[in-house]
Amino acid sequence: MTGRGRIVVVGVGNSWRGDDGAGPAVAAALRGRLGPGVPGAPVAVVDLDGEAARLVDAWDGADLAVVVDAVRTGAPPGTLHRLDACDVHASATASSHALGVQHAVALARALGRLPRRLVLVGVEGADFGHGTQLSDPVAAAVEPASRLVVGVVAEAAAAAIAGPAPP
Amino acid sequence: MTHKGTGGRSVRVEALTRVEGEAALHLDIADGRLRDAQLQIYEPPRFFEAFLRGRRYTEPPDITARICGICPVAYQMSACAAIEAACGVTVEGPLADLRRLLYCGEWIESHTLHVHLLHAPDFLGYDSAIAMAADHRAEVQRGLDLKKAGNDLLELIGGRAIHPINVRVGGFYRVPTRRELQEFAPRLERARDLALEVVRWVAGFDVPDLEGGWELASLRQPGEYPITRGRLVSTGGLDIGPDEFTDTLVEEHVERSTALHGTLRGRGPHLTGALARFALNAGELAPGARAAAAEAGLDPSTRNPFRTIVVRAVETLHACEEALAIIERYAEPDAPAVPVEPRAAAGTGWTEAPRGVLWHRYELDGEGTIVDARIVPPTSQNQRAIEQDVVGFVTDHIDGSDEVLAHGAERAIRNHDPCISCATHFLDVRVARS
Question: pLDDT (tens digit, 9 = 90+) per residue, B268-289?
Answer: 889 999 999 999 999 999 999 9
Minimum distance, in Å, between the CA of residue A163 and any CA atom of chain B: 32
In DSSP terms, which residues pair with B261 in a beta bridge? B252
Helix%, strand%, coil% for chain B, nearest 5: 45, 20, 30
What is the DSSP secondary-structure string of B250-272? Answer: EEEE-TT-SSEEEEETT---EE-
Q: Is B290 helix (H, G, I), strand (E, B) or coil?
A: helix
**pLDDT at residue B426, as a whole number:** 32
Strands B260-264 and A7-12 come out as unpaired
Closest CA to B195 of B102, B72, B296, B265: B296
Low-confidence spans in chain B with pLDDT less than 50: 1-21, 421-427
**pLDDT for A2 beyond 80:** no
Sign of the dihedral defined by the CA atoms of residues B236, B240, B242, B243, in that order: negative
pTM of the model: 0.89
B5-49 confidence digits (pLDDT tens): 333 333 333 323 334 445 677 888 888 888 887 777 656 667 788
- Cβ <8 Å between A17 and B423: yes
**pLDDT at residue B247, as a whole number:** 84
- Cβ <8 Å between B129 and A107: yes
**pLDDT at residue A34, as a whole number:** 82
**pLDDT at residue B420, as a whole number:** 53
Q: Is B106 on the interface with A (CB under 8 A)?
A: no
**pLDDT at residue B6, as a whole number:** 31
Q: Is A127 on the interface with B (CB under 8 A)?
A: no
Mutation test of the interface with chain B: which of A47, A60, A99, A101, choosing the one with the most B Cβ atoms within 10 A?
Answer: A99
**pLDDT at residue B333, as a whole number:** 97
**pLDDT at residue A162, as a whole number:** 62
Q: Is B225 helix (H, G, I), strand (E, B) or coil?
A: coil
